[in-house]
Chains A and B, each alone.
Chain A
């Protein structure tokens, strides 16, 4: 209980720092744990380590529940290409850098694999904070993360058999995949029915799902795989709708509880005696910082992502995963590598995750976008001489509703859109459009913003809207907004806000009035029937 008190006080402090500084929680938790470790004796550190196994099992179970296969469906091709390329490039880069740093083959492979996946927890936190989950690049990043987790754990199943010969390694992978197949069958045919049957009984759901977790962990042990892999597959077997949603409510606080325990305990048990490790950690982190954004950017562009989307995807994925720590810990436990590799992976995770807020900052992306715009041949070769047209910035889902009334009124239309697929569709319909970010001043000028009859804006990022509103003195700019405060800002900058929320409230009121009238009529006829 004493340890729990200490861990939760430290976790509270770490959460507070993270919330204040907007740094992801994981590195802050590990660092706070590391500082705590300075006050602990060797025996106390060992006792803290006891918490790691249990919390790790539950953490992986929770990660599995989040692996909804439907998330992989959207942008499937891009996810596959970006995910696989990034994984392989970083695996190779990490392995080579480990070789340069003098690590032997086995450690090199563990390090390479440890670097290859990105942090699901940290990235999801950022995307949610910035409300970017539903943006095209957000969906791509989430899909890539899930794919990486799956590939990572499959390879980890083989790696933990390292030293027992290639057939054993392959057997390990095959056994993991076999267990995965059981999980898939349960996910499709068994668990949705069970969860539906007990959907309203939180007690059965909580204890039952944890029993599933331990059953799969037991099966993993039976196949001589690490139990955490079984726990992950147990979570995966429950990852579909509505099971995952219901269980998130039942087990959400449970996972929050063990997340704190795991990362603080991990930090506290981190024993760094040789600070030269920092040099190696920096070298390996550089591999992640340079190769990930570059690879993701190139592959994203090849799969028709916008400049901004491709850049953002790369930067969001440029850190190592919490799974690297799981890998390190498991490999230390099974004697494949020594503690120094685990410490190195932890340091790299801390460094790369700490850098994520900087890498994903608006300023860096804007700066690079500006530099890259010079290379945008597609835009450079377009010669436009537009006047009196309607400029549509962000076509999105609602764009089709705009086109007809504009064209019926005799205007020509120019669209700027950042989603490659939408642009392709528009071009098929022979609607003039530019593929790129509508917040890009160069592109706005190219589209003749100042000579347009009026501009219709439907964009997600307010910084882009602000850029457009610089022309509000020259042209009427209508901006669709959702929140009240956004409407106020648009007005202050000279634009004309159109509130989607207001429009929806009006539409709903009409529907609701009809519904209430029907319900009252139904009630009245029921009463007269009774009387």
Chain B
């Protein structure tokens, strides 16, 4: 590899991504659209890069981390929540839309294998786009948001199975006869079972101890988790499973950890970088001739995704008796194809299941469907939807206490005794043991932590931390959100900085301790009153 070339190429992709991302933000478009447009500009249009070659490991890492995160999301509570009607809806949606998508492709005389893989690619919707849209509108917990998420998670599971099957089918040649399908499929199921059993055994014998031991050191936890993720990916690869399946299994095996949420928040920024490069690079590879060759198909396929797909889903949701307002919103927000469709079709093209033209067309469809769907949704639903609301997690008027050292723990106990709604926050689960209030494992360095704590709705934020930089940052966020902050003034020489940040109350154990000391000395008669 040419060192300069690799860094230059990567730098170009990052610069283009950043430029388009900032531009996209002014139009309230999600990052994926920006990345695809950036790649399209520096690839097919300006021909500055081909987005391939040395970049492979970066792209693979991006996909693996994304699937690892999806696996990490699969907490036992979420799986319980998915059961029943949402799961049934998700399964029905995937089945109906795959059949419809396949039929649509068959109308254009595509062979059966292309209809099956292409049908599934058209049926999927973008987790990244939908999640981002819901987060921007703060409607993740709305009724339609919950249904959309349930469907997306069902789709993720289907994709994992699809990718696994695809990996087994391939090898450059299409399978011959029924035996040609069943044999690799059985091999895949067997490999999948081995990895699954391996994960479980490793978890029971070794990992649980290792993770329990490393939980008080967050960066150690991150490195262990990444080590675990890439090891399973490596094993999966050697057992002829897709890297994506391995990463997903690695993630799901850690989803039950008490600090899985914290881990997810730590892996997320890493994934953001790699996945941005993935999308830019993917679009840079696009061959626009594939669209130019068959513009009619491209226009019909776009209409299928943007119009027919939401309409059919609306019918399906009505049939399954979802509430009147929930159905249309969910149907409309899912009216695009998925980033997984691109991954799925890229792998399918590699394995010879579809031709390059089809894979490129799906990429172009993503480029078109992402922004148009967002614009349609935003213009139809301008206002905010009703929130499903969860009093347990949707705090309001609560007090957040950060850092469970002696000061933090005593404060939590005292505030709870005063009848306040308190959330105790620390990175170390051990330090939260025994506190009779809501507990939160996480670092306040991560903005996601503050969002999940509903900082902007808190009555008060108290930091007992003895880390000056973290305290200053907490004070900064509180000022941004207009929330009163009580901050531990660790170093008396730096109190000005905290006062500049308009801290409501400075906790000064050094001064308070001396005052108490003097009072006790007076009480003991050692000092005059």
Contact = CB atoms under 8 A, between A and B. Distances in A.
B509 A401 contact: no
Nearest to A480: B513
Given A8-B231, A50-B6, A398-B514, A245 B410 contact: no
B414 to A, nearest CB: 6
Contacts of B266: 252-253
A211 B19 contact: yes
A203 B222 CA distance: 20
Given A248-B445, A401-B511, A5 B473 contact: no
Contacts of A366: none
A200 B415 CA distance: 29
Interface in B140-179: none
A328 B224 CA distance: 30
B495 to A, nearest CB: 9
| From A210, A454, A505, residue with most partner B Cβ within 10 Å | A505
A465 to B, nearest CB: 14
Contacts of A516: 420, 459
Contact of A211 (B14, B60, B484): B14
B513 A498 contact: yes
A242 B14 contact: no
Nearest to B217: A19
Contacts of A458: 510, 513-514
Given A1-B61, A482-B509, A202 B447 contact: yes
Given A202-B269, A204-B22, A242 B473 contact: yes
Contact of A505 (B267, B276, B407): B407
Nearest to A399: B514
A16 B209 CA distance: 12
A50 B7 CA distance: 10
Interface in A399-438: 401-402, 405-406, 408-410
B473 A246 contact: yes
Given A1-B234, A254-B270, A511-B505, A402 B517 contact: yes
Interface in B183-221: 210, 214, 217, 219-220
- Give the size range of A's interface with the partner: 35 or more
Nearest to B7: A53
Contact of A482 (B230, B407, B447): B407
Contacts of A519: 459
Interface string B492-523: 11000100000011011111111111101110
B472 A500 contact: no
A257 B513 contact: no
A501 interface: yes
Contacts of B437: none
Nearest to A479: B517
Nearest to B469: A245
A203 B243 contact: no
A515 B460 contact: yes
A53 B17 contact: no
A207 B278 CA distance: 13
Given A1-B60, A202-B269, A478-B521, A207 B6 contact: no
Nearest to A18: B220
Interface in A104-136: 131, 133-134
Interface string A448-482: 00000110101000000000000000001010101
A54 B521 CA distance: 61
A214 B509 contact: no
Contact of A257 (B6, B237, B270, B527): B270
A133 B60 CA distance: 40
B456 to A, nearest CB: 10
A256 B61 contact: no
Contacts of B469: 245, 248
Given A8-B223, A245-B472, A498 B447 contact: no
Interface residues of B, number: 99
B517 A478 contact: yes
Contacts of B21: 203-204, 207-208
B258 interface: no
Interface string A495-516: 0001111111111110111011
B484 A260 contact: no
B108 interface: no
Contacts of A204: 18, 21-22, 25
| From A199, A482, A504, residue with most partner B Cβ within 10 Å | A504
Given A5-B230, A214-B10, A397-B510, A253 B269 contact: yes
Given A4-B230, A203-B21, A211-B15, A53 B6 contact: yes
Contact of A499 (B219, B406, B414): B406
Nearest to B407: A501
Given A211-B17, A401-B518, A15 B61 contact: no
B460 A512 contact: yes
Contacts of A41: none
A58 B383 CA distance: 42
Contact of A207 (B272, B505, B522): B272
A335 interface: no
Contacts of A494: none
A218 interface: yes
Nearest to A218: B11
B460 A210 contact: no
A9 B210 CA distance: 13
A505 B410 contact: yes
B480 interface: yes
A439 to B, nearest CB: 19
A485 B446 CA distance: 30
Given A203-B21, A453-B526, A57 B7 contact: yes
A42 interface: no
A215 interface: yes
A516 B11 CA distance: 52
A519 B459 CA distance: 9
A208 B18 contact: yes
B348 to A, nearest CB: 20
Contacts of A454: 521, 526
A9 B231 contact: yes
B486 A508 contact: yes
Contacts of B270: 253-254, 257
| From B57, B484, B513, residue with most partner A Cβ within 10 Å | B513
B515 A74 contact: no
A54 B407 contact: no
B156 to A, nearest CB: 20
Contacts of A507: 507, 512
A305 B51 CA distance: 57
A409 B527 contact: yes
Contact of B7 (A217, A242, A502, A515): A217
| From B6, B21, B443, residue with most partner A Cβ within 10 Å | B21
B6 A505 contact: no
A500 B22 CA distance: 47
Interface string B1-26: 10110110011001101110110010
A482 B406 contact: yes
B36 to A, nearest CB: 14
26 contacts: A1-B64, A1-B234, A8-B231, A19-B217, A50-B1, A53-B6, A202-B447, A204-B21, A211-B18, A214-B10, A241-B497, A246-B447, A249-B443, A252-B269, A397-B491, A398-B513, A405-B521, A409-B528, A458-B510, A478-B517, A482-B466, A483-B406, A498-B516, A499-B516, A500-B510, A516-B420
- Pairs of residues from A and B, 6 with the lowest C-beta to C-beta distance, nearest first: A500-B513, A500-B509, A397-B492, A211-B18, A214-B11, A503-B512
Given A12-B224, A409-B528, A515-B460, 5 more contacts: A214-B7, A245-B470, A253-B270, A482-B405, A508-B462
Interface of B: 1, 3-4, 6-7, 10-11, 14-15, 17-19, 21-22, 25, 31, 54, 57, 60-61, 64, 210, 214, 217, 219-220, 222-224, 226-227, 229-231, 233-234, 237, 243, 266-270, 272-273, 276, 405-407, 409-411, 414-415, 418, 420, 443, 445-448, 459-460, 462, 466, 468-470, 472-473, 476, 480, 484, 486, 490-493, 497, 504-505, 507-518, 520-522, 526-528
